[in-house]
Structure 1
Amino acid sequence: MNRSREVIKSSGEKAIFSPAKLKRSLLKSGADEKTAGRVLREISDELYPGISTKEIYNRAFSMLKKCGDSYASRYSLKKAIYELGPTGFPFEKFIGEIMKREGFEVKIDQLLEGNCVTHEVDVVAFKAGKRYLAECKFHSEEGKNCDVKVPLYIYSRFQDIHAAGKKNGKAEGQGWVVTNTRFTEDALQYGRCMGLYLLSWNYPEKMSLKKRIDDLKLYPVTISTLLSLEEKQFMLERGIVLASQLLKNEYLLEHLGISEKRKRRILSEFNSICNSHEKA
């Protein structure tokens, strides 16, 4: 391993710094080739052995913010997902919005009768005559991955619900396990073996949570660099989980006592985030 370019990931694992991966992230944020190249060169020059990926992210974020609020916002997508807390309910609603956009009819936070006991299910979705059950495992901190105990527990619950469904003639689809972090290899192996659909920040590779968000252009309200944590929480408590929802309910900014000048900046940021990706 080239120790001069060794970085420490949020999980504590060591890896080699990837210029190509950083550049892809910068370009996806909306930065042009020239801006992305300049940020990449400066960060590459500042590397030292054992630098954390968080430090690299913070530096890139700071440089992009100087270029424009919307660039920095889109680059901070992963952080924005972590801010869909401290409870997991906004994350459940966010996943529900993704499934709606993918053609599912969705209900959030449902009580379903199992063959043995009653279960609370985060997302119940319907498509093509089948019922899909999704459990969302939200973490507000990086590095806390979902291990095999999570799909083990969820699979047993879904089996109980499916058993009751069969008695009532319901056609069941797959059970889903969704997390904003990552699955351990054992969790992935068990999930695949038992037929669960696993969705995480980086899995499945071509349909990961990150890719779905970018492809669907469905960004959380927490992606803003101009709203404070308290202001983001205010929006989440009022059911505003998407950037596009804030644009349709901009009067809520006035409820926060935000000045007209700052309000215009915030709306401009959200318009840029949503509209530039619609053109992409």
Structure 2
Amino acid sequence: MDVEIIKHSGERTNFSIDKLKSSLRKSGAEEALVNEISNNVRDELYQGISTREIYNRAFALLKKEKKGYASKYKLKKAIYELGPTGFPFEKFIAALLFYSGYNVKTGQFLQGKCVLHEVDVVARKNDQIIVVECKFHSDEGRNCNVKIPLYIHSRYRDILNNYNVKNEVEKPTQGWVVTNTRFSKDALQYGKCAGLYLLSWDYPKDNGIKDRIDRLGLYPITASTLLSQREKQFLLSRDIVLCKQLINDDFYLDHLGISENRQARILEEIKILCKHN
């Protein structure tokens, strides 16, 4: 019998054990564990269960077996935990670009032809200069609609028009719009037509935020299953947005008053996360 489940958006669909298995495999779990957890979750389903409840059950079972797997499994939720202001998300995107070989600066002011613009991230690599605007949504299931790239494109054009007037060499070569959720169909169509580079959780295909995190081993500090919310917020306030950064600056754990035994377990977990797939 098909079991109807409810997504974050309110949409109803049938439960797919194959999709659940696929998400578990991406955590690095072995096939035997994937099958065991999937079967346990399936046996506890009921009509109208939410995807959040399915996720919570699978996460709890995975965490019980191995915290490193659970941390990877909760990656999408960890990105939402970078909120609510969106500023840590900007720092996180800047870090992704930095470890991809870019020279990055955040919170930059660029003069447009008409007005001055505050830009989230300016990144440079070779002859490429990209201007990045981040749109963070704290509500799961909320897509980034066409109004966002429309608005950002108008700001980007104003910046370009100022460089056209001055004829300066350091003219931006590309405008980016980055979101932690997904783009609507119209937003993707407009971005492609306008020449904007759009980056979301799963777009472009095989090169979205999730793919880049997995490929580079650049997991947000919020992916840890051992740090408390208060501890994560403390680290984010010190610009520690990546697990990789905490390995290099583990003295912050002393500042938090964390015992040596717990520090060792936290560092062990995030070192597993930081390993490239």
TM-score, normalised via structure 2 length: 0.95
Counterpart residue number, 1:129: 127
**Distance in 1 of aligned mates of 2:125 and 2:269:** 35
**Distance in 2 of aligned mates of 1:131 and 1:189:** 23
Counterpart residue number, 2:71: 73
Question: Cα distance, 1:36 vs. partner?
Answer: 0.6
Greater shift, 118-127 or 93-102, is seen at: 93-102
SS in 2 for 1:59: helix
Tell me the alpha carbon deviations over residues 211-265 of structure 1, each in whole angstroms, 9 at most, x when there is no partner: 1111111100110011111100000000100001111111111111111221121
Question: Cα distance, 1:48 vs. partner?
Answer: 2.0
Question: Cα distance, 1:191 vs. partner?
Answer: 1.2
Which runs of 5 or more structure 1 residues have no equivalent in the other structure? Answer: none
Greater shift, 264-273 or 107-116, is seen at: 264-273
Which runs of 5 or more structure 2 residues have no equivalent in the other structure? Answer: none
Counterpart residue number, 1:225: 225
Aligned positions, number: 275
1:77-226 aligned at under 5 Å gives the runs: 77-166=75-164, 167-170=166-169, 171-226=171-226
Question: Cα distance, 1:47 vs. partner?
Answer: 2.0
Question: Cα distance, 1:127 vs. partner?
Answer: 2.2
**Distance in 2 of aligned mates of 1:218 and 1:18:** 29
Question: Cα distance, 1:102 vs. partner?
Answer: 2.2
**Distance in 2 of aligned mates of 1:101 and 1:268:** 22
**Distance in 2 of aligned mates of 1:115 and 1:231:** 43
Question: Cα distance, 1:168 vs. partner?
Answer: 3.1
SS in 2 for 1:172: coil
SS in 2 for 1:265: helix
Query: What's the % identity of the aligned pairs?
Result: 59
Counterpart residue number, 2:25: 27
Instruction: Tell me how large the CA RMSD over aligned residues is.
Output: 1.4
SS in 2 for 1:136: strand
1:42 to 40, 43, 64: 40
State the 4+ residue runs in structure 1 displaced beyond 4 angstroms: none
Amino acid at match of 2:226: L
Tell me the alpha carbon deviations over residues 144-173 of structure 1, each in whole angstroms, 9 at most, x when there is no partner: 221111111100000000111222333432
Counterpart residue number, 2:54: 56
**Distance in 2 of aligned mates of 1:71 and 1:192:** 36
Tell me the alpha carbon deviations over residues 3-35 of structure 1, each in whole angstroms, 9 at most, x when there is no partner: x33221111112232222221221221211111
**Distance in 1 of aligned mates of 2:177 and 2:33:** 38
SS in 1 for 2:183: coil
Greater shift, 150-159 or 165-174, is seen at: 165-174
Question: Cα distance, 1:112 vs. partner?
Answer: 0.4
Question: Cα distance, 1:103 vs. partner?
Answer: 2.3
